[in-house]
Amino acid sequence: MFFNKQRLEERTVIAVHGRLRFDGRDEPVTLANASPRGVLALLDTPPKRGTRVAIEIGGSILNGQVRWSGANRCGIALGGSISVADLLEGQAVPVTFVTERDSALGNPGIFRAAVSDGPLVSRVLQGLLLVAAVASGAFAISRLAPAALSPDAPQVALLDGHVR
């Protein structure tokens, strides 16, 4: 049975650079959105689901755990509640603002999203959407092409602005 898990808090779009530490690694990260209990982290090689992480922003550390991981991004549930407004104002942690263009590492696209290691329901639905789009396009072409190519189709020539 499929169900839609509603988010408990509103997400706030942000663009904050920091460092993500996990499994002995230290990677640059951009936080793309935040809520009091979690953040969306963008990085080249995101940690796998369940990995404990520490996000360093300025001199402050936010501890959390990866809840889902996809192509160049992951969702992190924080160990404690934060004030997103204070985060944006630089009161909770020192904040470095970046441009909106730099805040995203690119759209993963439907194919990369469907084969990522994100939630299974999302991957299945995105895969089905991809198959349906390809099938719809093939069906439309197969229905339109024979009519235009048949020898009985009316031939229209436009010469000097007159149809003959």
Q: Are residues 93 and 111 located together in one domain of the fold? A: no
Domain limits for position 37 = 12-100
Candidate from 106-110, 122-126, 142-146 with smallest mean pLDDT: 106-110
Q: Is the dihedral of CA 25, 28, 33, 36 positive or negative?
A: positive
Does 162 reside within a domain?
no
Q: Residue 94 — very low, low, confident or very high, per pLDDT cuts 50/70/90? A: very low
How do residues 142-162 score in pLDDT, each as one tens digit?
A: 887 766 566 666 665 555 555
Kindly report the CATH number assigned to the domain that includes residue 48. Answer: 2.40.10.220
Q: What is the pLDDT of residue 130?
A: 85
Report the predicted TM-score, pTM, of the whole model to 2 decimal places.
0.54
Same domain for 146 and 91, yes or no, is: no
Largest CA distance in the chain: 79
Q: Are residues 91 and 116 in the same domain?
A: no
Taking Cα atoms as reference points, which of 60, 9, 59 lies closest to residue 39? 9
Unique residue bearing structure tokens 């009161």 = 91
Cβ(13)–Cβ(48) under 8 Å?
Answer: no
Give per-residue pLDDT as tens, 45-76.
999 999 999 998 877 888 999 999 998 999 99
Same domain, yes or no: 63 and 111:
no
Residue 4 pLDDT > 50:
no
Same domain, 89 and 18: yes
* Total count of domains within the chain: 2
Q: Would you say residue 156 lies in a domain?
A: no
Do 94 and 115 belong together in one domain?
Answer: no
